[in-house]
Amino acid sequence: MILDLRSHAIEAPAHRDIVSPGEKVDHACLVVDGLVGRFDQMKNGSRQITAIHIPGDLCDLHSVVAPVAGWGLDALATSTILHIPHGELRAAAVAYPAIAMAFWRDTTADASILAKWVGNIGRKDAMARLAHLLCELGMRMEQAELGTRTEYTVPITQTQLGDVLGLTSVHVNRTMQALRRDGIVRTRNKTIHIDDWPRLLSLAEFDPRFLLVAPMDQQEAA
Amino acid sequence: MILDLRSHAIEAPAHRDIVSPGEKVDHACLVVDGLVGRFDQMKNGSRQITAIHIPGDLCDLHSVVAPVAGWGLDALATSTILHIPHGELRAAAVAYPAIAMAFWRDTTADASILAKWVGNIGRKDAMARLAHLLCELGMRMEQAELGTRTEYTVPITQTQLGDVLGLTSVHVNRTMQALRRDGIVRTRNKTIHIDDWPRLLSLAEFDPRFLLVAPMDQQEAA
DNA sequence: CGGCACATTGACGTGCATCAAACCGTGTGG
DNA sequence: CCACACGGTTTGATGCACGTCAATGTGCCG
């Protein structure tokens, strides 16, 4: 449905800001390929990535109701992005209540993931956080049919992982080594191979409910 | 408008769970009086509060589109809560697109605050986090006409503050003392008195944009 | 006058940050 | 085909912010 709307694609090289913090936008972004992160920037230069968007994700839906936000969007790897004008989305939402509900639901899913990450970063150690992220990405990649939960490819660096997890790249590295040493995951290039899914789940205290995976009929209703 | 819907009030003593994690609900909650926190519970028993709701806040709006969530709601102090059936809210949203947009916007504001807190907890030290919370509460209390940004009353304990900030109560205590020692805030009973607002803002790197304070006409549209 | 929840204090331990260097893979130009 | 440069990973040494544990203080309420 969304793909029928007027829109145009752009290419962004890795590390390019797609939307700068505080910028006012008149379109939402759909990730076609690559990897996009929403980030918050501190005055001392450090960054916190507050959401990761894989291909198929709408990263900017909020901007329809709040065109100027405090955050920015950043291409974590070379990416291609579809720009969809707010007007089109708003018109669709007003015309069809089911679409409005679907947009609302998408925003809710986003909030749910954010709430989970507040908990992860506030109350879990580095190992559990990394494990949780690997579980989450696995579930989402599988759901998006870009891989399986135990084997998928994400073009992200350890420094960027640190910015997601609220850690330094150094500590991400050591934590990842620990996971490898225990035979729980393997990594080759940018692909993650999870050998001991149950153990990773339990390390992470991962409960997939928070992803709010839409039952298919819910999705179709739109 | 919301107050016209069918609903009924309940009383909750401090520390009572209003909604348990994983519970399925058929109503949203409006805080009439007191203080409510959304929380995530870890297996080791520690808690993370992911949102604070002051009187006037709808804490549960998400549940309309996602009736079973991973989090719980907890009365941080003795509170009175209004239960509003989902059906009523959904009907209103379907009948009036402007209401649907308003609900969506509310969820977006919630997500925006959550994203900010991922950044705060992930990348700032205890002092900046506490300062940020005090600023945020000040702005919100003032907006809700429950006080001014520099003087307001919130019935929250230091342990609960710790659960919000991802710290222990001990460290909250010492950090609060530092703020007092520097003449930035005073506390008496449960009321906060901010003597040096500019300094608190700068400590917190506080930028009120993230609160997405609705322009009044936007609000009225509903 | 207890009792209870909360605030405060002190001693001590540790997970992660910081800083800085070395290593490695991959693409590039000579 | 090699030298080299550049982004990313890995390693080691050291420090500190915050956690942990446990005791003591303090205001409120029945």
What are the pLDDT digits (tens) for A111-123?
999 999 999 999 9
- Residues of chain A with C-beta less than 8 angstroms from the C-beta of B210: 69-70
**Interface residue B86 vs chain A (CB under 8 A):** no
Contact A34, A75 (CB under 8 A): yes
Residue of B nearest to A167 (CA): B122
Residue with the larger pLDDT of the pair A7 and A46 = A46
Write down the mean pLDDT value for chain A. Answer: 92
Task: Tell me whether residues B100 and A97 touch, CB distance under 8 A.
Answer: yes
What is the predicted pLDDT for the residue at B70? 86
Place of tokens 């330094």: A168
Size of interface A-B (CB pairs under 8 A): 150
Residue B214 has pLDDT above 80, yes or no: no
Residue A167 has pLDDT above 60, yes or no: yes
d(CA B205, nearest CA chain A) in Å: 7
CA–C1' B137–D10 (A)? 43
Residue B144 has pLDDT above 90, yes or no: yes
Question: Which residues lie below 8 Å from residue A217, measured CB to CB, with a gap of 6+?
Answer: none
Contact B122, A166 (CB under 8 A): yes
Residue B217 has pLDDT above 60, yes or no: no
What is the predicted pLDDT for the residue at B219? 44
How far is B201 from B133, CA to CA, in rounded Å? 10
**Interface residue B101 vs chain A (CB under 8 A):** yes
Task: Tell me whether residues A93 and B70 touch, CB distance under 8 A.
Answer: no
In the structure, what pLDDT confidence band is assigned to residue A220 with cuts at 50, 70 and 90? very low
What is the predicted pLDDT for the residue at A3? 66
Mean pLDDT is lowest, of A23-27, A93-97, B211-215, for B211-215
Residue with the larger pLDDT of the pair B4 and A158 = A158
- Residues in contact with strand D, defined as Cβ under 7 Å from any of its atoms: A 14, 157-159, 169-170, 173-174, 176-177; B 125-127, 166-168, 170-171, 175, 189
Residue of B nearest to A164 (CA): B122
What is the predicted pLDDT for the residue at A214? 56
What is the predicted pLDDT for the residue at B68? 85
Contact B165, B130 (CB under 8 A): yes
CA–C1' A126–C17 (A)? 13
Residue nearest to nucleotide D18 (CA to C1'): B171
Residue B216 has pLDDT above 70, yes or no: no
d(CA B53, nearest CA chain A) in Å: 14
Mean predicted confidence (pLDDT) in B18-46: 95
Contact A41, B123 (CB under 8 A): no
CA–C1' A189–C24 (A)? 13
Mean predicted confidence (pLDDT) in A53-76: 92
CA angle (B199 as vertex; B197, B205 as ends), nearest 5 = 100
Q: What percent of chain B has pLDDT over 70?
A: 94
**The two structure tokens encoding residue A90:** 């708003």
Residue A97 has pLDDT above 70, yes or no: yes
Residue A218 has pLDDT above 70, yes or no: no
Question: Which residues lie below 8 Å from residue A208, measured CB to CB, with a gap of 6+?
Answer: A135, A139
What is the predicted pLDDT for the residue at B104? 92
CA–C1' A142–C26 (A)? 30
Residue B135 has pLDDT above 60, yes or no: yes
Residue B91 has pLDDT above 50, yes or no: yes
Residue B41 has pLDDT above 60, yes or no: yes
What is the predicted pLDDT for the residue at A7? 83
CA–C1' B218–D19 (A)? 45
Q: How far is CA A101 from CA A56, A128, B69, B85, in A?
A: 19, 34, 17, 17
How far is B19 from A128, CA to CA, in rounded Å? 26
**Interface residue A150 vs chain B (CB under 8 A):** no
d(CA A151, nearest CA chain B) in Å: 26
What is the predicted pLDDT for the residue at B109? 94
Question: Which residues lie below 8 Å from residue B45, measured CB to CB, with a gap of 6+?
Answer: none
